[in-house]
Structure 1
Amino acid sequence: MPLWVTKSDRAALIDRAPWARVDDMDWQDIADGREMLIRGGFRHLQTWRCVPSSVRHCLEGSGGHCGSIHADWFLPALCEPPKPPIHIEDLIVTSATGESLAVFVPSRHNPRTGRHMWVPVKDCSTWKDMAGPTRLPKEPSHEPDDDITFSSEELDRSCRAGEEHLAYRSDPRPLRDFGQPTGGLTLPVLPMRPANAGAPVAVTDPERAAMAAALDCKPWELGPCIGCGQFIRRFGRNAPMACRACREAWAGSQAR
């Protein structure tokens, strides 16, 4: 599995192969042992329920809250709560050990396009449970800057170490690393079972995986609230039998 490392947010191989972008560091910083943070190409999966209390907006652009489960990929600094930064040295090791995987996430609007990224293996497993296996597009759509050209220049053998204020030519290529979310995935609203209903509600495996990720619990710990019937973390150590809203309503009625 290749790992292309670049210092430019306009590099032609961004989203065409597994990649990572680092800062353009001076040779003095490299000699001093400064760690190289990954600025693009590594993401974490975030799953949330689209309700008014959510800190994230609705992926469907409804302007409100649809009640569905959303999942999308974010840079570490944009996660809720923020994740610690990843160093290129760590990615090299974890990509070899299998703790970090290279995945391709197709675009929601055009499955022939999408984004390459490195992700934690746990997040990749959760994503596959919700979205199914991701595959490379058979015929990637042509983009205006798809043509990669090479212009031969005579090799400059002079040492530039220590020189300041070097004049660099501007890069005419368009920006490729925007750092924006991928567009994500939306699963339908989970069905609710009326309290004391006898028949269980049929929930698909992707729906169960998405709700478990949103509630930060295991899929087998899900169950219906005995009050309103919505799915909560019902089973496991210290798991409640009713959701917070039902417990607060019950406590209020007892106080009266």
Structure 2
Amino acid sequence: MTWLRGDMGFGRGAGFLLRGLRLWRERPRLMLLGILPALVVGVVVLALLVTLVFVADDVVGWATPFADDWDESVRGLFRGALYLLVLAGASMLAIVTFTGLTLAVGDPFYEKIWKEVELSLGGEVPDRGVGWGRGAIDGLVLVVLGLLTAIGVFVIGLLPVVGTVVGAVLGLVVAGRLLAGELVSRPLEARGMDRAARAALMRRHRGAMLGFGVCVQACFLVPLGGILVMPAAVAGATYLARAALDGGSPTEIVENRPL
């Protein structure tokens, strides 16, 4: 089996996620390790989202008393748009929060997945990961960045006419990039690369990072998608990190040993 390192663009980034998904067929037991922490966190996050669906309408009405005297149809459209905007922002926050908390809780499980991927690719393999403590801190930082993204989506969504669409699209792109950065940082940090070195490396592969992150984010929008895709996202991020470290040469082929 071969893994061709082609152009490190948007499509190539999406391909890394697809390669990670293939491990469900090749190593189902390994991938099931990533289900456990994702399932626990996913149930909690989903419960909070469902609660928000039922209370957001009341919250929007409480937050917009100035619209009480508006024409009923105009008021309904305005508050309906805000309701959808709140749910869109909450969804972005939930996805990034889910990823951050899942990585923090399940770091030993995901370290096993990326280590097996590293071994399958050969070459230099780190002796150990970043550790649970550092992984938990990075996960919580991702949660904070997700909160800022959700706030940004809400503010942009207040723009007339196009605000809701622009906010949702921008949120997808920004949250996807955050997810990719956090997932790819694990195998890079395990090699002793500090934040500045990791950022410099991945800036050279913006297209791949964006393609990978947006595809992961889109999968997370599907019900239960995050739980099933999370292990594949960890594996795909490892493939992406190794390709970036090796320069992403379009002519270089790496022989994958069986996982």
The TM-score by the shorter chain falls in which range? under 0.3
Instruction: State the TM-score, normalizing by the size of structure 2.
Output: 0.26
Instruction: State the TM-score, normalizing by the size of structure 1.
Output: 0.26
Name the structure with the higher helix share. Answer: 2
- Structure number with larger C-alpha Rg: 1
Q: Choose between structure 1 and 2 for higher RCO, CA contacts under 8 A separated by at least 6 residues.
A: 2
